[in-house]
Amino acid sequence: MNGDCHGKARHLIARDRVEGIPRDDREWLDGHLAQCPECAGVADDTERALRWLRAVAVPLPPALASRAQLRVYLRAQERRPVRWVPWAACAVSWAAGIASSPYVWRGFEWLGRETGLPPLLWKTGFALWWAVPALLAAGAVWLEKSQGEGFRTR
């Protein structure tokens, strides 16, 4: 067998222990290991080394996990988008809503007249036209705040 097969086998042995390998690579590797004592020894040595590493106890500071969580949280806060952009978009949206309000009112009035809807129904539709997006935006802000408060340190 050439060195290419041995290199491929060593690569597959390492990959199998880390992320797994597809079935066809597994079949090729099993066949190669059955024929090549050198690569079979590498596979055994790798398995033995991994067993030894799993058996070794590494003492860690008790607060390491919470400190790591805090660092990740702080880094995520640094990478958040600028806070004024959503507020500016909200202001533009409100201004556009106020400016277009008379036209939307006339549209609902026309639709109610043409379809014969009672005035209470088309006026309710007009109110919901403005209320639903505001409620969705409030829900999004509430959801963001509730997720941000979920992080606690000891």
Considering its fold, how many domains does the chain have in total?
2
H or E stretch at 132: helix 119-148
Could you read off the pLDDT of 100-124 as tens digits, one per residue? 889 999 999 999 999 999 999 989 9
| Triad 66, 67, 73: Cα angle to 5° | 90
Residue 28: domain span: 3-55
Q: Rounded to whole angstroms, how far apart are CA atoms 54 and 57?
A: 8
Q: Binning pLDDT at 50, 70 and 90, where does residue 154 land?
A: very low
Q: Are residues 88 and 119 in the same domain?
A: yes
According to DSSP, residue 82 is labeled P
Q: Rounded to whole angstroms, how far apart are CA atoms 48 and 141?
A: 53
How high is the mean pLDDT of the chain? 85
* pTM for this predicted structure: 0.39
Q: Are residues 143 and 69 in the same domain?
A: yes
Q: Are residues 50 and 68 in the same domain?
A: no
Q: Are residues 28 and 78 in the same domain?
A: no
In a domain, 153, yes or no: no
According to DSSP, residue 83 is labeled T
Q: Are residues 41 and 78 in the same domain?
A: no
